[in-house]
Structure 1
Amino acid sequence: MEEKELFILIISVTIILLLLGLFILILFVFYQKRLLINKTKLEKLQSETLKSQLEIQEHTLKNISQEIHDNVGQVLTLAKLNLATTVIEESASAEKIKTSQQLIGKAIQDLRDLSRSLNTDYVKEMGLIRAIEYELALLKKTGTIETGFAIDGSTVRLGKQKELILFRIVQEAIHNVIRHANASVLNTAILFSKDKMEIVIYDNGKGFDLGPLTDPDNSSFGLGLRNMQARAALIGAHFFLYSSPGAGTKLQLQLPLNNTTDETTAKN
């Protein structure tokens, strides 16, 4: 009788332990599922927030572009015309007036270039490749950095919104080189293959240590780079950055073409 009771006790304890283990497993699976749901909701919220920020930014840039074109540009044009109609007999003063006209003319052209670069509609109509070419041409015109640009493969239009986001990333990268890299050469390449498009930007500047970028306690470092990475993720692009002190910097963007809405294709 004692053996039978002991056997029943062992069976009962085993069943209880199995049920307890099953219960814990169910709780664990449920908890993991909730974590996944919350993570998905958070990622969706972050994505929607970033989209809203980009829309506000583009709207602001468009307004600034319009303001430059309609007001500042016109004021400078009137100032230039006013100088042109000023009669100066003294040769020294005439030379100063002429120099002032030239400087104002350059300012007008620079503002027009800036206005086009900021204007969302203009960038969308130009397309990604022409917009990048235009941006590099503006940089080369300053005479501070030698630029190179290359395209390989059959070009594909990605849809205006994706091209605009990619252009803003490239634009930010170029401005980072101007502000921080102390570079004399900046090269850009766009590569098209069957399944992806790749943008590579590299300079011969001073480079920097990437370590702080991976430090969660140093979120203020490389804020612009983090924003670029977030923008890339928004359209399904992969963002890679390579740099070290004294060795320049290389930025690489990869966008799977099967995630895009192709508009036109042309052979280069």
Structure 2
Amino acid sequence: MASDIEEPQVVLITGCSTGLGRCIAEEALARGMRVIATARRLSTIEDLRDKGARTFTLDVNDKPEVLQSFAVDSINAFGQVDILINNAGWLLGGAIEENTPEEIQSQFNTNFFSVISITNAFMPHFRSRRTGTIVNISSQGSYLALSGAGIYCASKAALDCLTEAWSNELAPFNIRAVSVILGAFRTSVASSNSKAPTKTIEGYDFAHDFHKRFQERSGHELGDPVKGAKKILDLVTMKTEKPLPVRFALGDDAVYLSKQHLEQRISELDEWKSYGMDTNVEG
């Protein structure tokens, strides 16, 4: 006779060595969820394994065939994956002109293209089960387009758009996608997961000041990653018929600044709409 007991959901998180990814993994374990934690070096997540997580080495920038093999091994760990959290990422600082083509490509490889490759590796599994949740960790920078982190912000804006497209095209498969517009949290992004440009150009004072202030503020941000992790898991596990928000602002600053940005864009659109209209073919 089949058991009516519902097994705990399986959540896979990339980038669990520090910061938000680690906090999500620890919170999920505390809730009794089945956790697959990943990092580039297994030694950094041995304690999560000791707490009950299955741990895997993962370089999110590996070739698609390597990531597909990783997906198979991950699914076999518990027989399924219910929630995929694409958390791994880093920040490239500096003015856009200062960023080399290699730095720009590297930024997009990790923050954008790797998300496509990893998620697509799990997509056949999600589609065959007609269920699954994709959580992409973005940033309020996707709205704010910060001087001094323009390429980083652009990579996160692309991630937001990708997530929204996935939300639309995967809905028939009952697969959900949400982009978490993250505010400033006390993680390792500023201290060890950010990089200054290899060259500097005189005159980009504001851009240089941003990256300097960003690193000096490390450890003093308002956001608590433990609380943030709880909010993310609350959102994706809540029992509700409502669809997930496509873009979910997380953090007091992210909620306020995202709203302010969108209001400014609407105001700008209204101010200039007469110039943008009356372009249809006559008749």
- Identify the TM-score tier after normalising by the shorter chain: under 0.3
What is the TM-score when the length of structure 1 is the normalising length?
A: 0.22
Whichever structure has more helix as a proportion of its residues is 1
Q: Which has the larger radius of gyration?
A: 1
TM-score by length of 2: 0.21
* Structure with greater contact order relative to length (CA < 8 Å, sep ≥ 6): 2
